[in-house]
Amino acid sequence: MLSAHYAVVFLISLRLCLLGCNGDKIRPFLTYYETVSYNRDQLFKDHQRSKRATNQVQSTVQIEIFGYNRNFELMLRRDRSVFTDDFKVMSDDTSIPIDISFVYSGILKDEGESFCHGSVIDGYFHGSIQTRNGTFYIEYEKHDNGTVESYIYHEKDIDVKSFELSLKKYEFLERMKWNSKEESVTRTKRSVDMSRTTCLMQLKADYLFFKRFRNLQEAISQIAGYMRSVNAIYDQVNFNGIKHINFKVKVLNIIQEKQPDNAMNSAYIGPEKLLMLHSSYNYNNVCLSYLLTNRDYNGVLGVAWTGKEGNNGGICSMFSKLKDAPGTEGSLNTGIVTIQKYGQYLPPRLIHITLAHEIGHSLGSPVR
């Protein structure tokens, strides 16, 4: 496993002001949130200085956030542990140099069992804070008029019913945690090495996903958050004695411009068809490959091939001829996840649960 890479960073103490808001049309998935503001210029400068530091002293970035009648004092260090050492970003079959020093993780100063994860981009922080009282999320939104609004909300303030999102996904993951024998993976011994529990992934972000976040840093920041949360879920799962399964991104392929000649370019491709198109490529170099998109599938948030014994689907399946499609080759170690439902962008928590759920199918858990 990779250990986190740290560099010198500088103390940032930010007092955030807030205003409470009930759910509105702008964020229909939230029943309540509080807006926050802080010294963005100072945060930007200190983050830039931390990037230039050369020694490995494990200094912290401290961000002080006040919300929900509590003072959150985050102590963060730079963290790229969800990416492999040779992680690369591809666009148009070309490798793009990228600095991912904007990704951080840490704890709350006064709560040792807490966990914080997020990113600092252009002086704005967004991420999550897991506490003994649940998880809080801090996000920011750039409006068309050029203004930026930061806000914080609690996981219980996510109105899943407004999306008709069944809690079966979350309950499914809870069963995986505590009743692992019932939800264990049925893979052959060929594909299971008890000493190797890291699954390497190739992720592809299509143009619609990239367009939602507008630039590479924002997109990578979101993906880092997805993977961190998925790893937190699977760290508690016991697959027939295999524990602490985790996932690392080896390759990220981002489509930054429309590709009219690409079969996946249309926004009106159904989820099953999109999965087939994504599966038409060879992903033998990784355990799993997932496509991230921003398409409205009338309630469907993800689709994946279910893991089966042999080379019949799921994790580590090799590119080969498909049994149900004579003359066609494909990779069945694949899946897709969309980040919207009924035209609304989903809050990160629901995306995390969806991705973890679909990966569960890739690992062999049955469809329910």
3-state DSSP helix/strand/coil % of the chain, to nearest 5: 25, 35, 45
* Residue 176 in tokens: 């995986």
Distance of alpha carbon 256 from alpha carbon 364, whole angstroms: 33
Beta bridge partners of 316: none
174 is catalytic: no
Angle (nearest 5°) at CA 357 between 352 and 360: 130
Q: What distance lies between CA 19 and its chain's CA centroid?
A: 28
Of the residues 34, 183, 218, 358, only one is catalytic, namely: 358
H helical segments located in 193-303: 207-213, 216-234, 271-279
Asked if 136 and 128 count as a contact pair (C-beta separation under 8 A), the reply is yes
* Residue 320 in tokens: 């080969």
Which of 225, 237, 231 shows the shortest CA–CA distance to 199? 231
* Residue 276 in tokens: 């087939």
Asked if 176 and 358 count as a contact pair (C-beta separation under 8 A), the reply is no
Distance of alpha carbon 329 from alpha carbon 283, whole angstroms: 12
What DSSP assignment string belongs to 138-205? EEEEE-TTS-EEEEEEEGGGB-GGGGT--THHHHHHHHHHH-TTTT-----GGG--TT--EEEEEEEE
Asked if 336 and 289 count as a contact pair (C-beta separation under 8 A), the reply is no
Which of 255, 297, 244, 247 shows the shortest CA–CA distance to 272? 297
Distance of alpha carbon 335 from alpha carbon 272, whole angstroms: 10
Residues with a catalytic annotation lie at 358
